[in-house]
Structure 1
Amino acid sequence: MTDTATDNADICLATLRETDRDRYLACLLSPIEKRGALAALYAFNAEIARVRDVAREPLPGEIRLQWWRDLLEGTSHGESSANPVAAGLLAAIETHRLPRQTLIDMIDGRIFDLYDDPLSDRNALEGYAGETASALIQLASLILSPADAARSAEAAGHAGVAQAIAGLLLLMPIHRRRGQLYLPLDILAATGLDRDSFLLGEEKAKISAAIEAFAGLGLEHFAKARRASPVPASVFAAFLPVTLAEPVLRRAAREGAKVLETSLQQPQWRRQLRLVKAIVTKKF
């Protein structure tokens, strides 16, 4: 690795430590020769995932996402090497032959985050999760072992949905304050709610039922991911962050409407122990 590449990898890791601590730790538990590429991929994901937090309005957010799309399509203006995450991502694409279209689809999936439109049904939710969380697991698997990545594709698909739902449950208090809703409308309708009544937060019993169903959908996908063909040890590090989803989903199912106002996040030390246990046992 050249000095520039090493510097970019270090900056990507430092960026990740601030923006996505769990995936930062997952990088540290990954093979050392793969860390630079994984850090760049995860730092890119963190950048596009937090566009709403940084931009706050849809138009500036779309401009930020368009910058990344232009970079991947080879039409960017300016020198990408000035941005260590961009330079690291392009190097990872070149070295590991990552499919650019999958990365572009990840960007397009994040446009949804900029607006307050609800997800119509479970299929829409699964599509959103597939373009974002599931795709990220598959891309990380390609970095770790292109020969074995295809064998874990089914597990990655289901694991990504479970992980996405867990993440949305963690962020539900923030999303509610913004007027955002990721809980599909068909689940709300089945419990006698609509978007406005859920966000208002007054019908606690119905809200608890909706959250329980939402968390249950995540647990269903988590179970399917576990039942899928065994994940090869060579790509298991790509699944490390998934192991943190199950406690969140189970607690959300218990807490119900309290999720709107309560953090579901486990302490950092518990998450670290869970990651270490997973990498040793190769079970998420």
Structure 2
Amino acid sequence: MSLDACADLVRRGDPARWQSLRGQPDSVRARLLPVYAANLEIARAPWVSAEPAIGQMRLTWWREVMEEIAAGGPVRRHEVATPLAAVLGAEGARALDAAIVARHRDLDPAPFATAVALIEYLEDTGGQVTVAAGAALGAAPAGLADAGFAAGLAAYLRAVPELAARGRQPLHSRAPQDLAELARIGLDRLAAARRARPG
């Protein structure tokens, strides 16, 4: 299978990551496109049906893909899973598996109970996807989870109006001081990621 399906998914579904790949060497694009496409498929799984059981089944399917990749054996044929298996090893598969587990939370319309619960969700979604992308490139993991958390928090806050329109309560609190604290945590994580960068 080619990277065309992955490229099309990322171009349509994740314009920010698509733009970040422009001008990158083909070798980098070939390794990151399957990771980003898999992330989109995983993130969409809880939303494909009003019936939570359908979302659960799709997330379970993706967990099985990650188990196959981590085991190093044959991986089921699929327009995203097949190219993903070509670029991801066990470490990256475990990182994406953490994101899949966290995405089960998207099946629940209730708000996060605490700021800690929301932070853990963002660590396991945005943070672990960035760790998986780094693993696909063979990059040292230092700072990747923090960078992914910061980017994930920014994307999540941008998505709050849409999530609310879908009947979700995406934040544990809308109090200005609680939102300011979330922003401070995101900025602190971004600063930590920058400090961890080599050179």
TM-score band w.r.t. shorter chain: 0.7 to 0.9
Question: Which residue in the other structure is 2:179 paired with?
Answer: 211
Q: Deviations over 1:149-207 (max 9, x none)?
A: 13xx2x222222221221111111112123323323xxx3xxxxxxxxx5xxxxxxxx4
Structure 1 segments unaligned to the other structure (5+ residues): 189-197, 199-206, 233-284
Structure 1 residue runs of 4 or more that deviate by more than 6 Å after TM superposition: none
Contact 2:45 2:58 in 1 (8 A): yes
Contact 2:46 2:59 in 1 (8 A): no
Question: Which residue in the other structure is 2:31 paired with?
Answer: 37
Contact 1:12 1:36 in 2 (8 A): no
Q: 1:98 to 1:34 in 2, by over 3 A?
A: farther
Contact 2:21 2:29 in 1 (8 A): yes
- Match 1:175 to one of 163, 169, 172: 163
Asked if residue 21 in structure 1 is aligned to residue 4 in structure 2, the reply is no
Question: Which residue in the other structure is 2:144 paired with?
Answer: 156
Question: Which residue in the other structure is 1:87 paired with?
Answer: 82
Q: Deviations over 1:201-245 (max 9, x none)?
A: xxxxxx44443333333223223323x22246xxxxxxxxxxxxx
**For the residues of structure 1 that align with 2:46 and 2:39, how far apart are their CA atoms?**
13
**For the residues of structure 1 that align with 2:43 and 2:163, how far apart are their CA atoms?**
13
Q: Deviations over 1:54-109 (max 9, x none)?
A: 2233211111111111222239xxx832x21111111112xx55443222221111
* Identity percentage of aligned residues: 30
Corresponding letter in the other structure for 2:98: D
Contact 2:112 2:170 in 1 (8 A): yes
TM-score (norm 1): 0.61
Instruction: Count residues in correspondence.
Output: 194
Q: CA deviation at 1:13?
A: 0.6
Q: 1:222 to 1:99 in 2, by over 3 A?
A: closer
Q: CA RMSD in A?
A: 2.4
Corresponding letter in the other structure for 2:112: L
Helix, strand or coil at the partner of 1:55: coil
Q: CA deviation at 1:112?
A: 0.5
**For the residues of structure 1 that align with 2:114 and 2:188, how far apart are their CA atoms?**
16
**For the residues of structure 2 that align with 1:231 and 1:182, how far apart are their CA atoms?**
35
Structure 2 segments unaligned to the other structure (5+ residues): 70-74
Corresponding letter in the other structure for 1:230: R
Question: Which residue in the other structure is 1:122 paired with?
Answer: 115
Helix, strand or coil at the partner of 1:180: coil
Q: Whose radius of gyration is greater, 1 or 2?
A: 1
Q: Deviations over 1:125-150 (max 9, x none)?
A: 22212211111112211222x2x413
**For the residues of structure 1 that align with 2:105 and 2:132, how far apart are their CA atoms?**
21
**For the residues of structure 2 that align with 1:109 and 1:29, how far apart are their CA atoms?**
32
- Match 2:53 to one of 59, 62, 65: 59
Q: 1:114 to 1:231 in 2, by over 3 A?
A: farther
Contact 2:147 2:189 in 1 (8 A): yes
TM-score (norm 2): 0.84
Contact 2:92 2:136 in 1 (8 A): no
Asked if residue 221 in structure 1 is aligned to residue 189 in structure 2, the reply is yes
Question: Which residue in the other structure is 2:72 paired with?
Answer: none
Helix, strand or coil at the partner of 1:66: helix
Q: 1:30 to 1:97 in 2, by over 3 A?
A: farther
Contact 1:129 1:161 in 2 (8 A): yes
Q: Deviations over 1:22-73 (max 9, x none)?
A: 1122223433113122100100001111223322332111111111112222
